[in-house]
A = this chain, B = another copy of it.
């Protein structure tokens, strides 16, 4: 009876898979906020190395992974694919549940997959430091690790609510040599503006992104780095799904449904896109479910509009499902999912009906997480519990229908730094957080003026 499927290091993918090549409708272009015209790549050069800008706009199906990056992946990749036999038994379901365990990476999530690649390209471009934001801290830890490997300095703006909830995440980044600041901070103009208006601001990913961009833009030796949303970030993550395709073949069960938590889209895309490639090219009929928190429901309740990627409006306008860049999500524990918008690629795929989305309540997710801990012995990050909640829903449906479908999900990270949240949940202190409908509607209204004339 097998519990996990492992590949040798020689099976670490040699190419990133670019879904742009297979999409029937290509995504709309990013626009300059002043002219409302498509931006030219050179506008991004103060923030990103040229290689990454090329990847951002490339339509090549496969992009070669540099050897130096594959060598580092080999420290923890290929990650194992597990069969969750304990959870199946607990749920008494005929479903076969598989999960890809990205929690075994150095920073404890899927994020190092792109952090290492981004650090490599940035080092090659000659900059000395990178500024970035982080929500729950998974991305900040990953980039700290990547920068450390290539001798780059790393400056992290960490959403204040997560900074306070998870002091140990901050220390982890310090052990990797990074500087970490709670955001909004007094180190940037935008941070000071926010602090003046709301001294108690819990922060948001949008605000932290603005701060990091401001720092990078004002320092010729610095670049900016983003942990999700952008095309090149999702591209790097596709090594997850490429491995998983081979491992599901090993297991002898192609998935009927692929499920992943959804913040900006990177772990979802990482697992889903290589399977979606099979739908596009081999006529497979796999379902894909992106799971977002009900307190930040851009996929299920947002609008498909042009919006800024950050709160200050420093980025190009991106076509995305969004709640509006002014929307500040409730202080839920899944800090990595507290983002107002969805990446362009995933937004277009959702719009075109190739993927589905559902929203899950926080307390339901923690209950699912606890079921998983007790049946599988692995503590999932709060972000990952969103996938587990939907996996359990699907597995129960299988039981009720008497059908043994194959479910695959992304265990995007471990929850060792989230024990305080589990404690609150077990003590009955952690409640569902309803979305603030008025704030959503106001922030959506505020971006109507940003739309191009069609």
Give A contacts to B, CB under 8 Å: 1-4, 6, 8-9, 71, 74-76, 82, 86, 104, 106-108, 112, 145, 148-149, 167-168, 171-172, 174-177, 370, 373-374, 376-379, 414, 416-417, 419-420, 422-423, 426
Complex Cα–Cα for A149 and B90 (A): 11
Known: A75-B376, A104-B104. A175 touches B4 (CB 8 A): no
Q: Is the CB of B168 within 8 A of A75?
A: no
Q: Is the CB of A175 within 8 A of B373?
A: yes
Q: Give the chain B neighbours of A112 by CB distance below 8 A.
A: 377
Q: Is the CB of A2 within 8 A of B9?
A: yes
Q: Is the CB of A4 within 8 A of B75?
A: yes
Q: Give the chain B neighbours of A376 by CB distance below 8 A.
A: 75, 106
- State which of B1, B2, B6, B9 has its C-beta within 8 Å of the C-beta of A3: B9
A331 CB to nearest chain B CB (Å) = 20
Complex Cα–Cα for A413 and B14 (A): 32
Q: Give the chain B neighbours of A172 by CB distance below 8 A.
A: 379, 416, 419
Query: 4 closest A-B pairs (Cβ-Cβ)?
Result: A106-B377, A168-B419, A416-B416, A171-B419
- State which of B6, B76, B370 has its C-beta within 8 Å of the C-beta of A175: B370
Q: Give the chain B neighbours of A148 by CB distance below 8 A.
A: 374
Known: A104-B104, A176-B374, A177-B374. A171 touches B3 (CB 8 A): no
Q: Is the CB of A6 within 8 A of B6?
A: yes
Copies in the assembly, this chain: 2
Q: Is the CB of B171 within 8 A of A374?
A: no
Q: Give the chain B neighbours of A377 by CB distance below 8 A.
A: 75-76, 106-107, 112, 145, 149, 176
Q: Give the chain B neighbours of A6 by CB distance below 8 A.
A: 6, 8
Q: Give the chain B neighbours of A420 by CB distance below 8 A.
A: 168, 171
Q: Give the chain B neighbours of A426 by CB distance below 8 A.
A: 171, 174-175
A69 CB to nearest chain B CB (Å) = 13
A76 CB to nearest chain B CB (Å) = 8
Q: Give the chain B neighbours of A108 by CB distance below 8 A.
A: 416
Q: Give the chain B neighbours of A8 by CB distance below 8 A.
A: 6
A429 CB to nearest chain B CB (Å) = 13
A239 CB to nearest chain B CB (Å) = 16
Q: Is the CB of B3 within 8 A of A74?
A: yes
Complex Cα–Cα for A176 and B419 (A): 12
Q: Which of A4, A86, A414: most chain B CB closer than 10 A?
A: A4
Q: Give the chain B neighbours of A71 by CB distance below 8 A.
A: 1, 3
